[in-house]
Amino acid sequence: MTVKKAWERTRAVRRGIGWAALSAFLGLVVVAPLAILFIQSFQTGAPGSPASYGLAGWRQAFSDPQIFRAVWNTVRLTLARQLIAIPIAILVAWLIARTDLPAKKFFEFCFWLSFFLPALSVTLGWILLLDRDYGLVNQWLVSLLSLRQGPFNIHSFWGIVWIHLATYNISAAVILLTPAFRNMDASLEEASRMCGANRGETLTGVIIPSMAPSILVVLLMAVIRSLEAFEIEWVLGAPYGLHVYATKIYELARATEPPAFGPATALASLILLALLPLIGLQRRYVGRHQFTTMTGQFRVKPTRLGAWRLPAFTGMVLLAIVLTVIPSGSLVAGSLMAKFGFISIPDPWTVKNWNDVFGDPFFARSLRNTLIIAGSAGGLAIPIFSLIAYAIARGPNGVAGLLDFMAWLPWAVPGVLMGMGFLWFTLGIPLFSPLYGTIGILVVSSLFGTLPLGTQIVKSNLLNLGRELEEASRMSGGNQIRTFQYVLLPLLSPVLLVVGILTFVTAARDVSNAILLATPRTRPLSLLALDFLSESRYEGAAVVSCVIVLMTTCLALIARGIGKRFEVRA
Amino acid sequence: MMGRQRIPALVFGLITAAFLSFSLVYAAEVKPAAQAEWEQTVAKAKAEGVVTLAGPPGTAYRRGLVDEFQKDYPGIQVEYLGGFPVELEPRILAERRASRFLWDAYVHGPPSPVFTLKPEGALEPILSALILPEVKDEKKWIRGFKPGQGVADKSPPFVSFIFDATASSIFHVNRALVKKEELNSPQDLVKPGLKGKVVMDDPRREGPGVNALAILTANYGRDFVRRFLAEQEVVFTRDRRQIAEWIVRGRYPVAIAVGSQELTEFQNLGIGKEVERFVGSWPKVSSFSPGFGAVAMFTKAPHPNAARLYVNWLLSPRGQQAWVTAMKTRNSRRVDVTPGDPAMTIDEKSSYMVFQSEEGWPVRRDMEALAKEVYKEPYSR
């Protein structure tokens, strides 16, 4: 009895130690690589020469006359993309999760598939269709309408916006928002309708405000990722002088020989500066409001679309065609083309690319490595990110704020730089250095890269859950572990599976960390794709991408099957 | 009389016989020494069992550098990791600073390791690692071991051995769209009629575009290059496939520093047959480029004997033929290897400047700076 009492009395102390340990661990893993990078921004000596420090890197970074134009391009591209993507994603997530839309499971699957497709292959597919001179759609319109020039130009500002929307912007937001919308109590909608609001008013006046934590997190993620995006801009914009902030960083870190990490990191620090107020604003807004959408009386009742059912269905079909059918079609077609984009040559189709990839001596080992890396990262992401998210959502205010901030930090620096920071960190920290050269370090780096995504999504969903559910469990004698196992896990299972799959696909596609941390024995499939890309064999890269997409799709289907067993039924 | 007349001939014959005997004896002593060293290296390398090789990315490079060696030495596993110098060199430096010595040899595009890895003491003197007589023999290599051409370094210790030598061509032209009267020599590149018709590998960063400008500046002067960049609204891209695709499709009928491999792949499929390469003489100096064709060895290598064996194999006729066969459009510096691109071979007589060398590096940097200066505010669509 006395032992039990003493145990009870020390609960607060134990909790304090737990919070401190978690904060210290996250601080070490997240802050240390960034700190190393930040110190490097003052390194003025060239690689290979003795270390010397100064402000030369900072001066070089901000003396580039194009940098301000690049920042402006980033801002306007981000605004244009998010102003279009977020409203569409909210509407689509609501249609899938809260209405009687026909074939909504199929549409949800389409968005997943769209997210799995690699950006470069999708971009090439759209170039094939919308290039100003030889794009198939343009050529068709020119001959149909007797135009002098095709109306579309993919190598332009709106071309870049279009490709971003068609790749990840809409699909990622839909994937992240749908579970949150699904976990909303139908009584909120009913109450709104009983007060005389129509469907639109209910959506804008009740549903969207109560989904604010999730929407804000998705918006914040989208904005941060927009600041770092460079692949599409690099292909479509850079040749025509349309640079963005991230292409400038990439230029310094990867396209300059020897790489100028100092100026690149100095430039990247602007993202951190932009991140701080955004995180602060998000926390302040979320902290001031109550967003519980799921309580003990949780019920699911789809909203009837009535006359809007057919137009909504048609809109979703069109979206699925643009986001999924065309890009996956171009990916598969690309993998079967003798030369990507050339269909008027004598023998345009071939299975040679598939034979080349499957016959490559590195393929089997790379595939196995990818399955291990991505599978482990996806599996570990669920408990680790849940724990951190739980601490952020339910922990004491100060600690939660600190953890929340730290959980965003891996995205404070673009991936091209973070890989280097992580390399220096791994080699320099004794706790992690034994992992260097093993497959384990690739798992850790993948977890590191998806930490913001995973924790923030779980956190936003936790904020939608009423505390009463956990309190009821505790009052019934359940400890924290049991409460998590029997109450929170079933409620969060859809979102946890989303996090696991997103981590899997991100790990399977990762190149920037893999190139710095993989060894010949641990190299994954993404480096095989890089092999093909670096010698301009897009067709081979398309085959590898098809394999990754296929693998991820199978996993998503299995996860969905597992998820159904845990799903809350009301 | 006859006897007196015969004396000088007899003396000459004796001296010749003595010299020949000495040479034969000397050769007999040297050959077994080299042979013994080689056999010892092979035996130790087999005991090590592995050679870790960092090199360029791409399946062709990997196959050229690994597959044939693996056939010749099945007991020695080549562990290959491909990447660009901007990725591999900072990584290797970071590893070595943390006392991780993981790599044996490095196949690279010179001269970057001369500036990054050599000052750290990370690279072995390469010439002393050559064992095989056919590799050590300078006469087997066009330009021998000449600093700046046979090795990328300007001064000893020489660490970066250049084995690839493919003559540089500056531009390609789509003859369906640009006739000979409009463009027939590099000097024509500044003609007003070509404005807006030229695409090139972005010279604002290290790469073949910078090399092309360096050759132009060596032959026609810096002002010529400035004029070309400033007046012709040249489109820059870093995607080599994009350059090749744009010229074969005719979007930009003139291309500077097209990847010959990328272009050949199109032409082998019957696309862009009308695209021609400029193969002409230069008024002052020609140039050749090793591309990714140079090799270095690491100090404190985990498998030092396997590294020596690998480097000797790579520089042997067999290793060089494997390289040329895999690369398809590259040439070896060896005199006894069939060229991959016979039109772009180099010779002993002409004057060459290799801008991918320590000596040529300042010119490249100057061209990069010039391109950045001229191209401050690009036009955009």
Q: Give the ranges where A255-308 is alpha helix by DSSP (H).
A: 261-288
Q: Do A387 and A447 contact (CB within 8 A), yes or no?
A: no
**Cβ within 8 Å of residue A416, ≥6 positions away:** A230, A249, A250, A253, A254, A264, A512
Residues A335 and A440 in one domain: no
- Please tell me the distance from the alpha carbon of residue B299 to that of residue A291, in angstroms, as a whole number: 61
Q: Please tell me which of the candidates B56, B91, B116 has its beta carbon nearest to residue A516.
A: B91
- What is the CATH number assigned to the segment(s) B169-285+362-374? 3.40.190.10
Q: If contacts are CB pairs under 8 Å, which of residues 225-244 in chain B contact chain A? A: 235-242, 244
Q: Are strands B235-237 and B198-201 parallel, antiparallel or unpaired?
A: parallel
* pLDDT confidence of residue A89: 96
Q: Which of residues 305-364 of B touch A (CB under 8 A)?
A: none
A343, A434: one domain? no
Which of A49, A234, A259 lies at the smallest CB-CB distance from B90? A259
Nearest Cα residue to A255 out of A274, A225, A281, A230: A230
Check B87 against A254: CB less than 8 A apart: yes
Cα B41 to Cα B37, B137, B313: the distances in Å are 6, 19, 12
Nearest residue of B to residue A534 by CA position?
B58
Q: How far is CA A64 from the centre of its chain?
A: 30
How far apart, in Å, do the first and last CA atoms of chain A sit? Answer: 41
**Is the same domain home to A119 and A150?**
yes
B377 touches chain A (CB under 8 A): yes
Of the ranges A209-213, A291-295, B137-141, B259-263, which one carries the lowest mean pLDDT score? A291-295
Q: Are A313 and A416 part of one and the same domain?
A: no
Stretch B252-273: mean pLDDT:
91
The mean per-residue pLDDT over the stretch B276-299 comes to 92
Would A378 be classed as within a structural domain? yes
**What CATH architecture is B12-158+290-343?**
3-Layer(aba) Sandwich (3.40)
Query: Residue B325 burial by CB count (10 A; 0-12/13-18/19+): exposed, middle or buried?
Result: middle
Helix axes A309-320, A104-116, angle to 10 degrees: 20
Which positions in chain A touch B120 (Cβ < 8 Å)? 48
**Rounded mean pLDDT, B239-262:** 91
d(C-alpha A277, C-alpha A283), whole Å = 10
Is the Cβ of A417 closer than 8 Å to some Cβ of chain B?
no
CA distance A403 to A389: 9
> What does pLDDT average to over chain B?
90
Cross-chain Cβ contact A239/B80 below 8 Å:
no
Predicted local distance difference test score (pLDDT) of residue A56: 86
CB-closest option in A257, A338, A342 to B85: A257
Write out chain A's pLDDT in tens, 570 residues.
566 677 667 777 777 888 888 888 888 888 888 888 888 888 887 655 667 888 888 888 888 777 888 889 999 999 999 999 999 999 999 999 989 999 998 999 899 889 888 887 788 888 888 988 778 898 899 989 988 888 999 989 999 999 999 988 999 899 889 888 887 777 777 777 778 777 778 888 877 887 887 888 889 888 888 887 787 888 888 777 788 888 888 888 877 777 888 888 888 887 777 777 887 787 777 666 665 555 555 566 788 888 899 999 999 999 999 999 998 998 899 899 998 888 888 889 999 999 999 999 889 999 999 999 999 999 999 999 999 998 888 888 778 888 988 998 888 888 778 888 888 888 988 888 898 999 999 999 999 989 998 998 888 888 777 677 777 777 777 777 777 777 778 788 888 998 999 999 999 988 878 888 999 999 999 889 888 888 888 899 899 999 999 998 898 888 877 766 665 554
Q: What ipTM is given for this predicted complex?
A: 0.81
Q: Is residue A390 part of a domain?
A: yes
Give domain status of residue A119, yes or no: yes
Whether residue A296 is contained in a domain is answered as no
Question: Is position A536 within any domain?
Answer: yes
Nearest to B381 by CA among A275, A154, A150: A154
Q: What is the DSSP letter of B344?
A: G
Let me know: does A518 contact A527? Beta carbons within 8 Å: yes
Q: What is the pLDDT of residue A442?
A: 93
Sign (positive or negative) of CA dihedral A400, A402, A404, A410: negative
pLDDT at B381: 32
Q: Measure in Å the smallest separation between the Cα of B29 and chain A Cα atoms.
A: 41
Same domain (yes/no): A330, A394: no
More confident residue, A73 or B379: A73
DSSP states of B247-303 as a string?
A: HHHTSSSEEES--HHHHHHHHHTTS-TTEEE-----SS-B-EE-TT-EEEEBTT-SS
Cβ atoms of residues A515 and A462 within 8 Å: no
Residues of A with CB below 8 A from B261's CB? 535-536
A527 part of contact set with chain B, CB < 8 Å: yes
Q: What is the pLDDT confidence band of residue B18, given thresholds at 50, 70 and 90? A: low
Residue A53: strand, helix, or coil: strand
DSSP B200-260: EE-TTSSSHHHHHHHHHHHHH-HHHHHHHHHHTTPEEES-HHHHHHHHHHTSSSEEES--H
The partner residue sitting opposite B117, judged by closest CB among A48, A437, A540, is: A48
Q: Determine the straight-line distance between the first and last CA of chain B, rounded to whole angstroms.
A: 97
Is B259 in the A-facing interface, judged by CB distances under 8 Å? Answer: yes
- Chain B hits for A519, CB-CB cut-off 8 Å, are 79, 81, 102
Nearest CB to A47; choose among B84, B89, B244: B89
Using CA coordinates, name the residue in chain B closest to A363. B59
Which distant-in-sequence residues (6+ apart) come within 8 Å of B316 by Cβ? Answer: B132, B134, B135
Helices A245-254, A261-288: axis angle to 10 degrees equals: 140
Domain spans of chain B? 12-158+290-343, 169-285+362-374
CA A525/CA A534 separation, integer angstroms: 14
A497 is a domain residue? yes
Q: Which of B97, B246, B381 to mutate against chain A (most A CBs within 10 Å)?
A: B381
Per-residue pLDDT at A297: 58
* One domain, residues A556 and A517: yes
Residue B130, chain A, CB below 8 Å: the answer is no
Q: Are A380 and A453 within one domain?
A: yes
Q: Does B262 touch chain A (CB under 8 A)?
A: yes
Residue B366 is predicted with a pLDDT of 96
Contact B262 A531 (CB under 8 A): no
| Domains B12-158+290-343 and B169-285+362-374 fall in the same CATH topology | yes
Interface contact B271-A345, CB threshold 8 A: yes
Alpha-carbon distance A222 to nearest alpha carbon in chain B (angstroms): 26
Instruction: Tell me the residues of chain A between 496 and 525 that have a Cβ less than 8 Å away from chain B.
Output: 515-516, 518-521, 523
pLDDT digit string (tens) for B42-52? Answer: 999 999 999 99
Which residues of chain B are within 8 Å of residue A530 when distances are taken between CB atoms? 57, 82
Residues contacting residue B23 through CB under 8 Å, at least 6 positions apart: none
DSSP string, B14-56: HHHHHHHHHHHHHHHHHHHHHHHHHHHHHHHHHHH-EEEEEE-
pLDDT at residue B2 tops 50: no
- Judge contact between A414 and A265, C-beta under 8 A: no
Q: Which residues of A504-541 are buried (b: 16+ CB within 10 A; e: fewer)?
A: bbbbbbbbbbbbbbbbbebbbbbbbbbbbbbbbbbbbb
Structural tokens at position A191: 């109450």
Phi and psi torsions of B346, nearest 5°: -115, 165
C-alpha to C-alpha distance for A303 and A160, rounded to whole angstroms = 36
CB-nearest to B86 from A259, A537, A540 is A259
B297 in Cβ contact with B124 (< 8 Å) = yes
Structure-block tokens of residue B343 = 């039109």
A327 and A386 together in one domain:
no
Same domain, A438 and A345: no
Contact A251 B205 (CB under 8 A): yes
Query: Range of A530's domain?
Result: 362-570
What is the rounded distance in angstroms from the CA atom of residue A401 to the CA atom of residue A391?
A: 10
Contact yes or no for A362 and B56 at CB 8 A: no
Cβ atoms of A525 and A370 closer than 8 Å: yes
| Identity of the residue in A69, A255, A535 whose CB atom sits nearest the CB atom of B60 | A535
Which helix (H) or strand (E) segment holds residue A200: the answer is helix A199-202
Q: How far is B328 from chain A (nearest CA, A)?
A: 13
- Interface residue of A72, A522, A536, A543 to substitute, partner B, most B CBs within 10 Å: A536
B104 contacts chain A (CB < 8 A): no
pTM of the model: 0.84
pLDDT bin (cut points 50, 70, 90) of residue B242 is confident
Beta-carbon separation of A531 and B82 below 8 A? yes
CB contact under 8 A, A239 and B199: yes
**Before B147, cis peptide (omega within 30)?**
no
Q: Are residues A321 and A464 in the same domain?
A: no
Which residues in chain A are contacts of B116 at CB distance < 8 A?
46-48, 258
Whether the predicted pLDDT of B250 surpasses 70: yes
Residue A193: predicted pLDDT = 76
Structural contact between residues A414 and A532, judged by C-beta atoms closer than 8 angstroms: no
Please tell me which residue of chain B has the smallest CA distance to A416. Answer: B87
Q: What is the CATH number of the domain that holds A541?
A: 1.10.3720.10
The answer to whether A131 and A155 have CB atoms below 8 angstroms apart is yes
Q: Is residue A337 part of a domain?
A: yes
- Whether residues A367 and A346 fall in one domain: no
**Do A301 and A190 form a contact (C-beta atoms < 8 A)?**
yes
Please answer whether residues B34 and B131 qualify as being in contact, where contact means their C-beta atoms are separated by less than 8 angstroms. yes
Residues A430 and A478 both lie in one domain: yes
Instruction: Say yes or no to pLDDT of B191 above 80.
Output: yes
Question: Which residues have CB under 8 Å from A86's CB, separation 6+?
Answer: A173, A215, A218, A219, A222
The answer on pLDDT for B5 being more than 60 is no
Apex A218 CA angle, A249 and A121, nearest 5: 55
Out of A234, A427, A536, the one facing B98 most closely (by C-beta) is A427
Instruction: Provide Rg for chain A, Cα atoms.
Output: 25
Q: How many domains does chain A have?
A: 2
Of B83, B112, B381, the CB nearest to A156: B381
User: DSSP state, B355?
Assistant: S
Q: Mark yes or no for CB contact A339/B378 under 8 Å.
A: no
Q: Nearest-CA distance from A512 to chain B in Å?
A: 9
